[in-house]
Amino acid sequence: MFPFPKTVKLLLLYYFLFHLHDLIHADAPPCQFCSNTTISKNDAPPYQFCSNTTISTDNNLFQSNLENLLHSMSSNSSVSNSFNTTTGNDQDRLFGLFLCYNFVSKDDCKNCIASASQDIQKLCENSNEAVVWEEKCQLRYANESFFGHLDVTGNIWKDNKQNVSGDELGRFSSVVNETLHNLSRLAAFNPSYGMYATGAVNFTDTETIYALVQCTRDLSPYDCNTCLEIAIANTSSCCSESRGARLLSPSCYLRYEFYAFYEGATSENPRIFENSKASRRDWTIVAIVSAILMVVLLGFCVCYCLAIRNQRERQVSGREDQLYNIGDPNNIDVQHQNLQARDNLNSQNFPFFDLVTLSAATDNFSDSNKLGQGGFGPVYKGQLPDGKEVAVKRLSSVSEQGLDEFTNEVLLILKLQHKNLVRLLGFCIDGDEKLLIYEYMPNGSLDVFLFDPRKRAQMNWSRRLNIINGIARGMLYLHEDSRLRIIHRDLKPSNVLLDSEMNPKISDFGMARIFGGSDDATNTAKIVGTYGYMAPEFAMEGLYSVKSDVFSFGVLLIEIITGRRNASFHLTKCAPSLIAYVWKLWNEGRGMELIDPLLMESCDIDEFLRYMHIGLLCVQEDAYDRPTMSSVVVMLKSEAVTLSQPERPAFSVGIFKDHYETNDKDYSINELTISVVMPR
């Protein structure tokens, strides 16, 4: 006979413990570690980030300096909530910093730093750089100076297990984001706030959201704001549904909850456990009634409870496996110290736009405001409340550009300032929504003019030369003149925008990579770019360097002066590609036949042939033979420079595949953007 009474008791006990566990741990969410390191299964602080580089265990000088450093910081924790210092000399010098959160008392700060000093030695033994976050403070040391440098390496986020209900989620995300952005600006740019700000905002008649932001005192106002904006973006991506979240960073701290944690509250309902004890009789009654009901519905309840248990196990497993690497350089393939930003970020206020504002600016992303379709999603024209026109790039939910590429593009453009690069005005991350806000280019992209006979007629020879030279200067800046050495990897007409005076501006840095070498090639397992513009060594072997961009520039130059598209030229049956046809006519002395008929009256034949010659030098098959962008700029400027004889170009790259995209005004054949993962 089926044991009903025992089963009922077990189910009731399971149900009770299941929900009691949720209540007890509502304020102790699991930690999601965001760095290339390990973390214990115990979710209680401390949390640590330890560098992979260690000091020899017999290095007594290092140990002595570290102990002196930690002692100095502990001694100062009773008089200040923030302190940095150094010990040692020359190559043996150590740098240390601690930060107690401003709501913490002096005594609590002292106790917290004392614990952190002990924990950091245990958890990160012999590491030459480490950070430890306690409940009320954080402590850091390194064998290189980090004072005054923004660092988002090893960011950790924690989210509350309790989620906001679905019908409130949209407004909740908007309120949280707006509150955090306002606090970030106050903390960073208002000296009276001292890199710290708190705020309370009513969410419903009975619920209030409490938020706190704080930066280490060594940061500049702009770096503080940048650190907090990145923290907000991180929490928006990981924790948009959670009723509370924290972001622990080496340079800043962020938290929001539905209770005043910075005033001493420890949960949303401090009386919850008292009520549990006081209502044991109520629980007994509930248990008896539930037992009767569950006897009647036993079969249903067994299935239901088992399903819930399995679902919860899957969720727990998913949470344990989800190590969201905000700061892992291997995810972004950047090899730039994990976007450590140890060179100061551009000193400008980089604003966050909320989704409500952008939706209103674009008329809810209506088709009538759609400017075009990029590789990662549509671009819309928008008008901000102050009347300023902008271009809003909205990443598709099925786009291959995830948070890694999105963050990459934001942080790259933030560091770049050149008249031939598109200016990024801001960004938005709201749940699954990721958007970039650019200055509006009234003349759209170069491909719209270049491959439409009616519009191409507006591009006389001098205007085309101006566009070519502007693109060359922009690429030279990326390769050699900016603080970072950047390879664009997807230069093509649709990624060149034209302002009101037809000046070119290079855009779309989602594929870009920061390059650490000179001209040596770097290998990647993921091939990204556009057929027809990809250098052969990149398309076939995954090798890329600055010479890969030179190849793309050469293709683009030839397209501009001939008015023909490389990727669809095989349809003419003349040759497999435009580059192959140019090479054929060049060797036969018939290069002038390629002049765009629309340029016959304005084009200088000798100048046309010289530009064709430069283009062929850029698309040579061997990357070593191609000129650098600095050489290209010189060749374009001066006719006195003697040009070498070009070697055989790469005739075709991969398989050309075209697809048609239409809108109400223009019809064009667009190149295929590809993303292929290849074995190393």
Nearest-10 Cα torsion for 407, 410, 411, 416: 160
Residue 270 has a pLDDT of 41
141-151: per-residue pLDDT in tens? 999 999 998 88
Between 244 and 287, the higher pLDDT residue: 244
Question: What's the average model confidence in pLDDT over 377-397?
Answer: 87
Q: Higher model confidence: residue 356 or residue 39? A: 356
Residues marked as catalytic: 490
The string of pLDDT tens digits covering residues 198-238 is 999 999 889 999 999 999 999 988 889 889 988 888 888 88
Q: Is 96 helix (H, G, I), strand (E, B) or coil?
A: strand
C-alpha distances in Å from residue 630, one per residue of 278, 472, 551, 626: 79, 8, 14, 12
pLDDT at 609: 94
- In order, the DSSP letters of 330-378 are HHHT--SGGG---SPPPSS---B--HHHHHHHTTTT-GGGEEEE-SSSE
Contact 228, 213 (CB under 8 A): yes
Q: What is the mean pLDDT of residues 279-305?
A: 57
Backbone φ and ψ for 194, nearest 5 degrees, come out as: 60, 45
CA torsion sign for 169, 171, 172, 176 is positive
Please give the average per-residue pLDDT across 399-420, as a whole number. Answer: 68
Band of pLDDT at residue 79, cut at 50, 70 and 90: confident
Given CA atoms 221, 225, 231, 232 in this order, what sign does their dihedral have?
positive
pLDDT at 129 over 80: yes
Structure tokens belonging to residue 113: 């730093």
Name every residue whose Cβ is closer than 8 Å to that of residue 281 and which is 6 or more positions away in sequence.
none
Q: Which two tokens stand for residue 122?
A: 């245990």
Q: Are the C-beta atoms of residues 555 and 532 closer than 8 Å to each other?
A: yes
- What pLDDT is recorded for position 408? 61
- 542 vs 289, higher pLDDT: 542
Average pLDDT rounded to a whole number, residues 13-18: 35
Band (398; pLDDT cuts 50, 70, 90): low
For residue 260, give Cα distances in angstroms to 160, 267, 600.
15, 9, 74
* DSSP letter (8 states) at residue 246: E
Share of the chain above pLDDT 90, in %: 36
The answer to whether 549 and 529 are in contact (CB under 8 A) is no
Q: Which domains does the chain have, with CATH numbers?
A: 4-24+272-321 (no CATH), 28-266 (3.30.430.20), 355-439 (3.30.200.20), 446-677 (1.10.510.10)
Please tell me the predicted confidence (pLDDT) of residue 625: 93
Cα dihedral 263, 264, 266, 268 in deg (nearest 10):
-40
Indicate if the pLDDT at residue 7 is higher than 50.
Answer: no
Q: What integer pLDDT is reported at residue 667 of this predicted model?
A: 30
Residue 615: its pLDDT value, please?
Answer: 96
Q: Tokens 């409490």, residue?
A: 210
Higher pLDDT, residue 411 or 601 = 601
The residue ranking higher by pLDDT, 399 or 242, is 242
642 contact partners, CB below 8 Å, separation of at least 6: none
Give the per-residue pLDDT at 321: 28
What was the pLDDT predicted at 222?
85
- Average pLDDT of 167-173? 87
What is the C-alpha separation between 650 and 574, in angstroms, rounded?
16
Alpha helices, H only, 221-354: 221-238, 272-278, 280-296, 298-321, 329-332
pLDDT at 86 over 90: yes
Q: What is the pLDDT of residue 457?
A: 86
Q: What angle do CA 263, 268, 274 make, to 5 degrees?
A: 105
Q: At what angle do helices 298-321 and 280-296 cross, to 10 degrees?
A: 110
- Would the pTM count as exceeding 0.85? no
Report the distance separating Cα 155 and Cα 168, nearest Å. Answer: 28
CB proximity list for 626: less than 8 A, separation 6 or greater: 547, 550, 551, 554, 617, 618, 619, 620
pLDDT at 274 over 90: no
Say if residue 621's pLDDT is above 80.
Answer: yes
Mean pLDDT throughout 438-452?
90
Q: What is the pLDDT of residues 46-65, one digit of tens each?
A: 888 888 877 765 578 888 99
| Cα dihedral sign, 5-305-245-132 | positive
Higher confidence at residue 372 or residue 297?
Answer: 372
Tell me which range, 409-423, 466-480, 642-656, is most confidently predicted by mean pLDDT: 466-480
Return d(Cα 616, Cα 362) in angstroms, integer: 43
Q: How confident is the model at residue 31 (pLDDT cuts 50, 70, 90)?
A: very low
Tell me the per-residue pLDDT of 576-597, one tens digit each, with 9 for 90 and over: 688 888 999 999 999 999 999 8
